[in-house]
Each structure stands twice: as C-alpha cells, then as structure tokens.
Structure 1
Amino acid sequence: MEDKLKGRYGFPVAFSMVVGVVIGIGIFFKAKPVLIASGLHPKIAISAWILGGTISILSGLTAAEIGAAVPETGGIIAWIRRVYGDKVAFLVGWTQAIVYTPAIVALIAYYFAFFTTQFLGVEAGPKYMLPLSAGALVLVFAVNTFTQRAGGIIQALATGAKIIPLAAITIFGFMSNNNSAGIFYTSTEAVSTKPPILLLGMALVPVMFAFDGWIYVGTISGDLKNVKKDLPKAIIFGLGFITIIYVALNIGLLKVFSADELVNQGMFGVAQNLFGNYGAKVIFLGIMISSFGGLNGFSLISTRVPYSLAIEGHFPAKNYFSKVEEKSNQPMRSAGLMFILSMVYLIAMFITGNPDVFGDIPVAIFWLFYSMVFLGVIILRKREPELERPYKVPLYPVVPILAILGGVSIGVYAAISNPKYMLISLLATLSGLLFYKK
C-alpha cells in the first residue's frame, strides 16, 4: 500500500522530539539504580553515564545513515525490513506496537500523575493518580491525533521547559562549596566483590534506559519536510546535547552528595535539601513538564506504528489500520488502537502496583534490534552500493562496528542482570509469529 502521510515538520521539531522523548522520567530516577548497580562506586557510575552517551552517539551516527537512505514512516521497522525482510521487520514492529510503546506511554503517564501529586502535596495513590494519568493520556492522544501542529508546538515548548530542573540541579552542584563527598569518594558501603568491568556493564543497563527512545524519531521520518537533512542532524545534535546534560547532572550531584546520600534520599530528597520545600516545588514542576513532554512525544510516535505495519500488509486487520483520514491526514484508527493499549497497560499498572516492570521488560531486547540496524548499514553498503545516501556514517566501518559491540554488550549485561526480563521479552517478540500475515 502507498504511504499517504505528508511531511510537515522541520529540524526544530525533530530535534525537540529526540530530546523530548529521551529526557523524560529516566534521568530523574536512574541516578540511584546506576549507583546501586555500580556497587556505590561514583567513578564507575560516572563512567557508565559517559559510556552510555558514547554508545548512543555512535549508534545515532550509524542509524542516521540508514534513516536518511530509507526515509519511510516506520523508522526501525522500515530499516529492518529493507535489510532482513518482512517477517523480521514484523517481529520488531509487533514488539514495538503491542509491548514496548504502549507500555512506555502508560508508564510515563503514571509517573506524570505521581509527580503532579508531589507538586500538589496530595496522596500519591490511585484516588488522584488514576484520573490524572488517564486524563493526560486522553489529552495527548487527542492533541496529536486531531491537531498535529499543536502537538509539535507542545513538544517544542515542553522540551525547553524541562531543561530548567536539570540545569538548576547541575549548576547548583557545580557552584556549591560543599565538596565533602567529591565525585571520587567511594562509599564505605561499597562491598561488591564483582570485577569493575562487570559493575560497569551492569550500571550501563539502567543508564541506557535513560537514553532510550532516540531511535524512534525515525518513526516520523515520513512527516519531516527534509528528512535527508533533518533526521541525521536531529539524532546527532540531540544525543550530544543529552549526553552533556546527563554527565554534568551526575557530576554535579556527586560533587555535593555522597553515593550513600543519593541512594538513601532519592531525587526528591536531594531537591528538598538543595532548594528547600518551595524550591523543590519548582523542581517538581519541571519534572512534571519533562514527563508531559515525554508522554506527548511517545504518544505521537505510537500512533504511526500499527499504520506502518498495516500499509505493508502484515498487521491483523491491515485494511482497517492502514486508513488515513483525508481531513486530518492522520492514521486515526492506528492512533485509536495505541490509545486503547496504553490505557490497558495503565490500568494494569495500578492493579499490580508494580509499574516499573512494564518499562523494564522490553528495553534490553530492543538494543539487540538496534544492533541489527547497525549491522544493516554494513550489509546495505555491500548489497546496494548504488543506493542514494545523503548522509554517510563517518569513519566507516569503525563506527558501525563499535555501535554493534555496544548494543550487543547491553543485551548481554541485561541478560546477566535480569534473565527473567530478557526471557519475557524474547517470548513476547516471538509471539508475533502467531499473527504474521504474508
């Protein structure tokens, strides 16, 4: 079937999409798990953030080549299809559509509601959080489905506003005279006997959750006015900007607080100690905006996933989900499915009382998919040498090979850290074979 979506976004929205999707709830909650995984060794934790940013930039440099050469709505699905065929691409899309994206959308909505209750000073329970999170889902899906331009404006505004709490904490940390802990101070509770290389790899897994989401800007490549120019720029400059922010934030925190203090107090306790109760309110407001920006970005991305699979003819009820409404130029039915799935996941989070598991399960398996994309760049160079490549990855093939090694190592360390989650991810992915339609 023909892809009927028309490009209307430029570089500013594409850049803000990368930053908006990646800088979400992860950075505000992952400083603690990274320190724990590192055995409370600040040097290892900081190294993990730097390594994670480096892997992400190498990955962005590599994926940008295939993204510009194959500018089709669907992003990673279209790229995998071009290299490995329909069935493998369907499995990626199936995992993204049914498991990963709606679960992440619901998780962000959940934490948006949590941050809102913290800001308002009310109980962080289902009484307030369920209507807040469900209402946020309705709002962002409605905006991105019925008024696409408004969704782009919200994304750009939210991206700018969310930098405030990150910048405040980072700057205050660097300017503070309290350097009693120091970033090179190793906690007295750091009793892990694991080798440093294993601790670094295990700390890398939660780091990559904080970086996850960057590749999904390719899902709206068909919506970009100049995809061949804007997509590589958005990924490269967006990831570089994010890496600097993440590393600076963690150095700033570890300059003021010891690893023990960060783990025991968490981000909210840190904000109260740094800025007082009123200052912490401002920080919570910034985190709310950050969460809403991530929710808006992921909801926009999610609406295209079933549509992309359907126009290729492999998704169940393909004729239904491949429809684009003429008046709005939007895949309304695809958006409706993702809204329903996101709401189901959201309700399940409140029922189980364990929302984080819905975000942990699919992340590791997707880094293996990313590695397939990086390998695909090398394969296409050999298989289709005449393919037009407006952008070529620098230092080829060194950069793609390093990206592949980085992606595979993340999957390996994730399997070591959480074998159950990796098994569930694999089973969820392979279940798509039951629904694959030739």
Structure 2
Amino acid sequence: MTSIAQQLLRRKPIPRESGDSPLRRTIGLFPLMAIGISATIGTGIFFIMSQAVPLAGPAVVWSFVIAGIVAGLTALCYAELAGAVPVSGSTYSYAFATLGEGTAMVVGACLLLEYAVSAAAVAVGWSQYVNELIGNLFGWHLPAALSNAPEEGGVVNLPAVILVALCAVLLIRGTRESVLTNAIMVCIKIAVLLFFIAVGVTGWNSDHFADFAPYGIGGIAAGAGVIFFSFVGLDAVSTAGEEAKNPRRNLPLAIIGALLVVITLYIGVAVVGIGAQDPKKFENQEAGLSEILTHVIGSSWPGTVLAAGAVISIFSVTLVTIYGQTRILFAMARDGMVPKVFAKVNERTRTPIQNTIIVSTVVAVLAGVIPINFLAEMTSIGTLAAFLVVSVGLIILRVREPELERGFKVPLYPITPILSILGCIWIITQLRPITIAVFAIWVAVFLVFYFFYGRRRSILEPGNELGDPDVPFTAVVRQPGTHDGVER
C-alpha cells in the first residue's frame, strides 16, 4: 500500500508531445503571443501611474524597468518549462513533473484562485468602464441596482455577468474562434496605448524630470512592487500547451515576445506620462491616462477613446483567464485530482464544454455579487506562489532531466531562476497579512480535498486506470528518488 508521503512525492514523468490529446493544435505563434499580451495588459496600465508616481516620482520609469526585469526572469523560466513540457496545465503540470503530486495540488489551488478570482475581478472592472463609456457617448448610465454588487447597494452586476457569458459562448464554439477574437482585441488595445504615447508626447516638458528620484531607492522599489502586478499574465501562454502548433518552438517564443511587447509599451507609457504631466498631479488622479490626455488636448474626447480601449482590453483579459482556468482544470481532471467532468472534450468542437460552463457559472456568480476590491486582493499571492514553483521546478528539472529536449534554455543558469525566486519572495513580503492568511486557508481546504479525493483517484495510484477513453494518456511512473521508469 502506498504511504501518504509516497503519494505526496510521486511524480508524473515529463508528458510526451503526441497527437493523442483530445484538444486540437490550432494556435500559431502570433495568437499565442496575443494570449500573453491580452492576459497581461488589462486595466492596470491605464491607472497604475496614479499609484506608482506618488511613491517613486519621475523615477517610476526605473520602477517599471525593475518590475519588468523581475517578471522577465520568471517569464524566461516559463519559456524553458513550456518548451520542455508542452501540455495543458501550466505550473500545475510543471510541478507534477518536478516536485511531486502534493506540491502540484498546492499549485493547482494557487492557479484556480488566481484565474477564477482575477476573471471575476476584471469582469467587474469591465462593468464600470462600460458604464463610463455609455455616459460619455449617450449621457446616461445603467441603473445602480443592475451594475453593482449587493454590498455596494445593487442587486447584481449584470454587465459583468453578461461579459462572462459572452466569453463562455466564444470558448465553447472553439479555440480557433476564441484566439482569433482575442488577437483582434489585442491589436486594438496596443493601438490605444500607442495612441496615448503619440498624443501625450505633444505635451512633453522635460522639466517634469528635474527632481528625478525624490524618494530615493526605497521609493523606486516601492513603485516596482505596485507595478509588478501589471506584468502578471504572461504565464497564460503556458496553459495552451496542448493546443499550440509546434509547441517546443512557439511556446517559448510567444512568452518572450509577449514580454518584450509589454515592457516596451509600459515604459513608453511611463516616460510619456511623466513628460506630459507634472509628477505632483498624479496623486489621487482617478481618471489615469485619460485625464493626462485631457490636459494635453484640452478636450474630453481622448478619455472616451481610452475608455473604449479599456472596455476592449478587459474583455480580452476575461476571455483569456477563463480559457486558462478551464485548461488547468482539464489537466487536473485528467490526472484524477478533480472530477473527470472537467476533462471531457466535445467531439465536434474539441473543447471542454462542460468544464467551460461550470467555470463560467462560478466566475459569473463571483462577478455578479462580490465587490471588486475583495476580488482584486486575492489574485496576487496565488500568482507569486505559482511563479516561485516555476523557478524552483526549472532548477530541479535541469538536474533530473539534463538530456530532455528543450525548445529554449534560460540564459545565465542558475543565476536567472535564483534571482526570480528572490524577486518573488521579496514581493510576497510586501503583501498584507490578511491576504497571506486567506491564501493559507484556501490551500488548506484544497489539501483536505486532495486527502479525501485526489490521492486515491490519482492516475499514479496503483490499481487505477491511466485516464479514460475520452482522455488518452501515456505515463511512465517514476518512484521518488529514482530515475528509472516503468510503463503502466
């Protein structure tokens, strides 16, 4: 009989890239990049300057650089693992292959929290921007009862629920349709940010950079801590591992390409934003980038353009986060960690329809009745924990599987993953204690579920079948501490 310790430490071997997957490989390089860009560029960049400039002053430009470097270190680690383990499941699958079943379940809990809660949070944010855009264009707003959560004086946030439903319909129709729609919306959101840069630079005043770092290194670091979460989302590319064309090549290229696009846009927005507006005016500036352009142009129409860009931006973020959530649950269900309903794929659309409906229903309920502040606070720590595991897993995989085919190798190994680990730990220490406490409770609940359900139904449990007819899978079971494989 397998002991609990053995169950927690047993590892699934590196999955083989094969044609067995019920998911269809339809996503090329550019749509993969669009997934990463879409999940990363959300509402954050439209408003983050008003939070970061008061902390760092004009040196917020360096805060963006530092945050981008920390995110970039993790992105490089993701790029190597995505090329080496080209399957659905993102960090969960990487943890199962490197750190064991118990750690994979903890990571699964982190990812489910990150994706479900963030999808609900951005859906609520979408509702707010839709209301603003309607007000700018037509001069009226949605009734408070239908655009706010009960705690905020409403009945249900109907626009947020409608957004989730639209995303679900797209995802059920097929992955190809979903990624095409997402790619179009990504092009629009990039165009909106380029519009800000092009218009904002006409109001350039170099005097705004005179007192460059009024709060010193500490202020720059504090600004980087706030800005870092505007880079979260690059990991979404790795959830498409089984639907990517030529995954060993395209997954790493897509992650690195998305990172470069995001960093370039963010730094461009930061430099132009400071050049166009006195740093002292950023504090308590709720309208963000649109207010800067209003001052430069002397008219309110740029605000309408940016509000429209934010609406499109958030739509694409919600689409990608729900997509990522369903693929993580697909991988976990295939391994026996959660009920098999999440792994069933429709023969015609080649998408996990039941999975998508369940996930979308949960997200819609969260978005419809819970305020955005509570939702937003719960996304950060799950993301950072997943980032940590990726960097640790990369080091372990290099030691255990040195001959494994990799589409990309991180430069300056092992310095890169070590710096990534230290960067994530540093940012976690900046989080509020209540956030860490709620996260610990969530993980504990998930481990209880694993103890009573997942460990006995795992595909690695002796006597269990490896998968089911709907989810073909071939595994080689390695015992902890050995390198020998036995076909089961």
Identity %: 23
Unmatched 5+ residue regions in structure 1?
191-195
Amino acid at match of 1:361: M
1:127 counterpart (139, 143, 146)? 146
Tell me the equivalent position of 2:87: 72
| Correspondence list, 1:4-403, <5 A | 4-36=22-54, 38=55, 41-43=57-59, 45-97=60-112, 99-121=113-135, 122-123=140-141, 125-128=144-147, 130-182=157-209, 184=211, 196-266=216-286, 267=288, 268-275=290-297, 276-315=299-338, 318-349=339-370, 354-403=371-420
1:429 aligns with 2:456: no
Shift in Å, 1:3: 4.3
Amino acid at match of 2:46: F
Q: Kindly tell me: are residues 201 and 361 of structure 1, through their superposed partners in 2, closer, same or farther at Cα, counting changes over 3 Å? A: farther
Q: SS at 1:41's partner residue? A: helix
The 2-side partners of 1:147 and 1:361 are apart by 30
1:201–1:410 Cα contact (<8 Å) kept = no
2:110–2:386 Cα contact (<8 Å) kept = no
1:112–1:288 Cα contact (<8 Å) kept = yes
1:181–1:257 Cα contact (<8 Å) kept = yes
Q: SS at 2:300's partner residue? A: helix
Shift in Å, 1:257: 1.3
The 1-side partners of 2:111 and 2:69 are apart by 24
Amino acid at match of 1:214: L
User: Which structure shows the higher helix fraction?
Assistant: 1
Q: SS at 2:242's partner residue? A: helix
**TM-score if structure 2 supplies the norm length?**
0.81
The 2-side partners of 1:280 and 1:366 are apart by 31
**TM-score if structure 1 supplies the norm length?**
0.90
Bigger radius of gyration, 1 or 2? 2
The 2-side partners of 1:178 and 1:260 are apart by 14
The 2-side partners of 1:232 and 1:159 are apart by 19
Q: Kindly tell me: are residues 186 and 409 of structure 1, through their superposed partners in 2, closer, same or farther at Cα, counting changes over 3 Å? A: closer
Per-residue CA deviation, residues 264-317 of structure 1 (Å, 9 max, x unaligned), is 3331433432341223212211121111121222222222122111101011xx
Q: Kindly tell me: are residues 218 and 378 of structure 1, through their superposed partners in 2, closer, same or farther at Cα, counting changes over 3 Å? A: same
Q: How many residues align?
A: 418
Shift in Å, 1:222: 0.7
Shift in Å, 1:224: 0.2
The 2-side partners of 1:242 and 1:371 are apart by 21
The 2-side partners of 1:240 and 1:15 are apart by 10
The 2-side partners of 1:265 and 1:291 are apart by 20
Shift in Å, 1:186: 6.3
Shift in Å, 1:336: 1.6
Amino acid at match of 2:267: V
The 2-side partners of 1:170 and 1:435 are apart by 49
Tell me the equivalent position of 1:193: none
1:73–1:220 Cα contact (<8 Å) kept = yes
Amino acid at match of 2:386: F
Per-residue CA deviation, residues 67-101 of structure 1 (Å, 9 max, x unaligned), is 1111111111100111111121112112322x221
The 2-side partners of 1:57 and 1:183 are apart by 29
The 2-side partners of 1:185 and 1:261 are apart by 15
Q: Kindly tell me: are residues 423 and 128 of structure 1, through their superposed partners in 2, closer, same or farther at Cα, counting changes over 3 Å? A: closer
1:141–1:339 Cα contact (<8 Å) kept = yes
Shift in Å, 1:358: 0.9
1:201–1:413 Cα contact (<8 Å) kept = no
Amino acid at match of 1:269: E
